[in-house]
Structure 1
């Protein structure tokens, strides 16, 4: 599984637009092949940070996602609206819940 985390800093003048963009991007992404989960959250410790948590079946699914014009447009628009570039981290992950929780 591929796990992706990311965030973007919201600005007062674009806050509503940025939240709508994030929610729309997550909803659209969930319909893509290989997307297991894609969620957008407001950070409760920093309400000016919009967080993303994604789970994908494979690297190929992530590559296909990032190649879509809608995904590239989303990143470009967020980059233009935020005072800092969006942050993203991509991990290869193994679900070890059963090993740890019995």
Structure 2
């Protein structure tokens, strides 16, 4: 399993448009092979900051996701809405302990 997580920062005045685009890409992505979790959360303190969290079966599934049409649409929307910063990482978790 792979986890992808991080933040995307946009101008606060574009946050509603980014949220709409995030809903569209999330719905399409959750239907993809190998996608276990795909979600965004908007910061309550900084409305222009969104956290993304993803879980994928493997790297091939993640690569296919990156090449999908809806990811192209998502990238174009972010470019048009003015991404200020992006800090997203991928990692493989070790043993998982339920808390």
Please confirm whether the aligned pair reaches a TM-score higher than 0.5, indicating the same fold: yes
- Over the aligned positions, Cα root-mean-square deviation in angstroms equals 1.9
Q: Hey, what does 1:8 align to over in structure 2?
A: 8
* Structure 2 segments unaligned to the other structure (5+ residues): none
- 1:84 corresponds in structure 2 to 84
For 1:78 and 1:87, the matched residues in 2 are separated by 14
Q: Which residue of 2 aligns with 1:37?
A: 37
**1:41-86 Cα deviation digits (max 9, x unpaired):** 0123433201110000100100000011211221232133124243
Displacement, 1:27?
A: 1.6
CA distance in 1, matches of 2:39, 2:83: 22
Q: Distance in 2 between matches of 1:22 and 1:74?
A: 7
TM-score, scaled relative to structure 1 = 0.82
Residues 14 and 48 of structure 1, relative CA distance in 2, 3 Å threshold = closer
Structure 1 stretches lacking a partner, 5+ long? none
SS at match of 1:37: strand
Query: Which residue of structure 2 aligns with residue 60 of structure 1?
Result: 60
Residue in 2 aligned with 1:26?
Answer: 26
Count matched residues. 99
Q: Secondary structure at the match of 1:93?
A: coil
